[in-house]
A and B are shown apart, each in its own frame.
Chain A
């Protein structure tokens, strides 16, 4: 396989709070190749958004990227090395804050956020904001940039773009605002677009239209995407490869077809089983028992062991790193679950444990959270 466009290795991002260190992203690795749509799936709190912010180095205090390496087109977005005294310091070739701001963000890597209302400034016209963005990033004159802005608005399907150019964000519907953001992301023809739940707030009909449009545009410009979502249906529709996140870790990584038809990790199966289906009537849903633990104090061993229906004694003790499942060296399907032969640490002989999934009264409660005063 060719050199990946973006490569993330063992990325760790932590938040230092009064209550302790939140390990929001805890050692994830994945690649994005040219022209590929890579999914990043997980529930709220899994660390998806922190992971994408880290790629753009947008993590703010009290958060900090504490380890790992991010490479984009041969350049180092983030990397640490040890200096003489054993202290970690940024490597020399790491891009400076200014280079990130002027060259990478927006131009090479664009990002689309979930809430289009919050990403657009309500006191400026939609066209003006788009024009300014193009003017600054592509060194075009005002009139030229305006023409470009109108063209790109038409391309993302805004009706009557000349007249809508002078309207304000509140005059656009949610779907159209999201189209404007996509227009803005595409305006500089970046190599990579990070889409952070861009369709979650939209109706299915609008979502369908936008996904359809993204697919067309992706074909036309050959842009790569990181598509962050919690919705398995969107993943099935748009992604080429998928990373499933649970509590700061990637627990399964596969081609989209393998993920749905040859699921290796119990969490992925549970996630798929808990969804109501639109195409058939399901009598009883099988929800995941309990809620995701806090990243501030992750469980020992496999982080999913307590809600896991297949958990055994060994799951509580051994923390699995993702390993290759398919057996060939290419590395196309990895999972972090010790029940598979690739681990061979005695899962089969280990006794099953009592988990929330296998019984126990308090299924479905967290014991965390503030105590009553």
Chain B
């Protein structure tokens, strides 16, 4: 990977994240990863990492809201915690107001933390049930030595009022509040030290829709009043669309697309974003429901797919260059390959399978021969062999599997930057890179070709 230099001096950027990685040990302890073999040396040791966040770059400008969206397990929360250095990054840098947080420690880091606060998803478990809300709101001020006791109390009451609670509630315990109100207490606590930057990790997903709207409105008002910058994490695209200025879409530890809100929602340029958008239900019985659903599960982050991580579920995988199939035949082949991998059928008769999966278009030439071979294996009930042929000769040969995509393309709506990690965009890309420059920093057109990942 390219070495990370100092960030381009972008005076507007409050936070710059460069090639950030966070890996977790899959096993821990004395015997972690120890495996026994029949042959010499009998005992071997190999550890596997969970690559929760694996090379992420983005910028957040002052006063904006960056929405971060993705399915559960894609690494959103780990990213948020790593950005705030609640988790130690494995690799990469986080520049906050020009200083690299990853290199800070001890007292300087503690003092930096005053400017960065976090709001958690569960309003119940993020408040100490044995503390009254007043002291809860005062706690961060105490930790950072702000004001004297009287001043803190006055400020806490003022903040409670700002977030839409009654200052009289200063002496109540968290259990006396509803979920929405507790999230407001969380907001007040985060605001107490007058931060510049707040990471909101699914702050409204535990709330009812009507309460959600109240809290979202309050958050927007506070942003305006206190000039806050939000990193707003959610899995709900409707909420993201409502509150964000720019949106980053995350899949399996990578950011796959990043653009201005309107551009991303109206002109999505990554198949994963498109699938996510198609999957959102619209509250309208006449909308005809969702279309183009994704199949299969998210692969394990322990051993993620090479190249583009979405390729195992992507409906638009690119055909390997060595074959010359029609588009229909290639789609059928991909579908068949995934069905074999999932063992979705028990049928072994090649003719039946042909008519089920290749009715409208059959691969010809080399591809046809390989398919015959695979069908032959299935007829002898050797699914593993069939799977091996289909995966090694087709799926692994696609450019999606051999190179990690990173392109910047022209925005259609607005003049913001539009990053899309999909090889389908390689012809229209204005900039190509696999390093940190593409996502949020200045473009360096044509500096680097996509690197092979393996």
A173 within 8 A of B: yes
A176-B297, A281-B261 known; A160 and B209 CB under 8 Å? no
Interchain CA distance A275-B342 in the complex, whole Å: 37
Confirm or deny: A20 has a beta carbon within 8 angstroms of a beta carbon on chain B: no
Question: Is the beta-carbon distance between B283 and A257 smaller than 8 angstroms?
Answer: no
Pick from A205, A211, A274: contact of B276, CB under 8 Å: A205
Question: In this assembly, does B364 line the interface, its C-beta being within 8 Å of a C-beta of chain A?
Answer: no
A232 pairs with B173, CB closer than 8 A: no
B211 with A287: CB separation less than 8 A: yes
Complex Cα gap A270–B172 (Å): 30
Contacts A231-B281, A271-B210, A276-B242 given: A205-B181 contact, CB under 8 Å? no
B284 part of interface (Cβ distance < 8 Å) = yes
Stretch at the interface among A11-19, A219-227, A310-318, A364-372: A364-372
B175 at the interface (CB under 8 A from A): yes
Q: Is B280 an interface residue (CB 8 A)?
A: yes
**Of A61-69, A103-111, A130-138, A233-241, which stretch is located at the interface?**
A233-241
- Indicate if the CB atoms of B241 and A278 lie closer than 8 Å: yes
> 24 A–B contact pairs at CB < 8 A?
A159-B296, A159-B344, A173-B73, A174-B72, A176-B297, A203-B235, A204-B235, A204-B236, A204-B279, A205-B71, A208-B293, A209-B293, A212-B290, A231-B209, A233-B280, A236-B284, A261-B286, A272-B283, A276-B212, A276-B236, A278-B281, A287-B210, A365-B165, A370-B175
Give the residue of A174, A257, A259, A288 whose beta carbon is less than 8 angstroms from that of B210: A288
Task: Give A159 to B340 CA distance when docked, in angstroms.
Answer: 10
Chain B contacts for A204, CB-based, 8 A: 235-237, 276, 279-281
Closest to A161 in B: B343
Residue of B nearest to A215 (CB): B289
Indicate with 1 or 0, residue by residue over A125-163, a CB within 8 angstroms of chain B CB atoms.
Answer: 000000000000000000000000000001000011111
A233 touches B283 (CB 8 A): yes
Which residues of chain A from 190 to 236 have a CB within 8 Å of any chain B CB? Answer: 203-209, 211-212, 230-236
**A366, B178: Cβ atoms under 8 Å?**
yes
Residues of A within 8 A of B355 (CB): none
Q: Contact string, B344-359, partner A, CB cutoff 8 A, digits 1/0?
A: 1000000000000000
Residue of B nearest to A364 (CB): B164
A361 to chain B, nearest CB (A): 9
* In the assembled complex, A284 has its CB within 8 A of some CB on chain B: yes
For chain B residues 76-119, which have a beta carbon within 8 Å of chain A? none
Among A160, A278, A287, A288: residue with most chain B CB under 10 A = A278
Closest to B291 in A: A208
Indicate if the CB atoms of B166 and A365 lie closer than 8 Å: yes
- Let me know if B213 and A260 touch, CB within 8 A: no
Is A282 interfacial (CB-CB < 8 Å)?
yes
Residues 275-328 (chain B) with a chain A CB within 8 angstroms: 275-277, 279-287, 289-290, 293-298
Q: Given the interface contacts A270-B210, A371-B176, A372-B176, does A237 sit within 8 Å of B261 by beta carbon?
A: no
Q: A365 — nearest CB in chain B belongs to which residue?
A: B166
Given A159-B342, A372-B172, A256 contacting B294 (CB threshold 8 A): no
Does A160 contact B343, Cβ atoms closer than 8 Å? Answer: yes
Q: Determine the chain A residues whose CB is within 8 A of the CB of B342 once the complex forms.
A: 159-160
The 7 A-B pairs with the shortest beta carbon distances in the complex, nearest first, are A233-B281, A287-B213, A159-B342, A288-B210, A369-B176, A285-B213, A160-B343
Interface of A toward B, CB cutoff 8 Å: 43-44, 154, 159-163, 173-176, 203-209, 211-212, 230-237, 256-257, 259-261, 270-272, 274-279, 281-282, 284-288, 291, 362, 364-366, 369-372
A228 to chain B, nearest CB (A): 14
With both chains docked as a complex, state the minimum distance between the C-beta of A59 and any C-beta of chain B, in angstroms: 23
Tell me if B132 is interfacial: C-beta within 8 Å of chain A: yes
Q: Contact: B208 with A205, CB < 8 Å?
A: no
The interface centre, meaning the residue of B71, B211, B265 with most chain A CB atoms within 10 A of its CB, is B211
**B281 and A372 form a contact (CB under 8 A):** no
Q: Which of A259, A277, A371 contacts B282 (CB 8 A)?
A: A277
A296 to chain B, nearest CB (A): 15
Closest chain-A Cβ to B354's Cβ sits at a distance in Å of 21
Residues in B with CB closer than 8 Å to A230 are 208-209
**Given A208-B281, A233-B283, A260-B283, does the pair A276, B297 have CB atoms closer than 8 Å?**
no
> Are B297 and A236 closer than 8 Å at their CB atoms?
no
Q: Is the CB of B282 within 8 A of A203?
A: no
B280 touches A278 (CB 8 A): yes
What's the Cα separation between A365 and B295 when bound, in Å? 44
Closest to B71 in A: A203
B316 to chain A, nearest CB (A): 16
Contact of A236 among B210, B239, B281 (CB under 8 A): B281
B369 contacts chain A at the CB level, 8 A cutoff: no
User: Residue on A with the closest CB to B243?
Assistant: A276
Q: A212-B290, A274-B212 provided; 7 other pairs, C-beta below 8 A?
A: A43-B210, A257-B285, A277-B282, A278-B238, A287-B212, A287-B213, A370-B176
Residue numbers in B under 8 Å from A362 (CB-CB): 166
The answer, yes or no, to whether B217 is at the interface (CB within 8 Å) is: yes
A233 touches B217 (CB 8 A): no
Tell whether B171 is near chain A: CB-to-CB under 8 Å.
Answer: yes
CB distance from B16 to the nearest CB of A (A): 27
Contacts of B286 in A (CB 8 A): 257, 260-261
Is residue B214 contacting chain A, with contact meaning CB distance below 8 A? yes
Near A by CB (< 8 A), chain B positions 240-280 give 241-242, 261-262, 265, 275-277, 279-280
Taking the nearest CB of chain B, how far is it from the CB of A29, in angstroms? 23
Chain B residues near A291 (CB, 8 Å)? 178, 180, 211
Task: Please measure, in the bound complex, the distance between the C-alpha atom of A362 and the C-alpha atom of B284, giving whole angstroms.
Answer: 33
A207 and B213 contact, Cβ closer than 8 Å, known pairs A43-B208, A237-B290, A281-B242 = no
Complex contacts, B261 vs chain A, CB 8 Å: 281
Smallest CB separation, A47 vs chain B (Å):
14
Known pairs A276-B239, A282-B242, A285-B217; A43 contacts B209 (CB<8 A):
yes
What residue of chain A has the Cβ atom nearest to residue B216's Cβ?
A285
Q: Which residue of A lies closest to B280 (CB)?
A: A278
A236–B283 CB distance below 8 A? yes
Are B176 and A281 in contact, CB atoms less than 8 angstroms apart? no
**A281-B218 Cα distance, complex, nearest whole Å:** 18
Assuming A176-B297, A205-B276, is B210 touching A277 (CB within 8 A)? Answer: no
Q: Are B214 and A276 in contact (CB under 8 A)?
A: no
**Measured CA separation A284–B180 after assembly (Å):** 18
A276 touches B238 (CB 8 A): yes
B282 adjacent to A279 (CB under 8 Å): yes
**Is there an interface contact between B276 and A277, defined as CB atoms closer than 8 Å?**
no
Q: Report if A162-B343 is in contact (Cβ < 8 Å); known contacts: A277-B241, A277-B283, A287-B217.
A: yes
Closest to B179 in A: A44
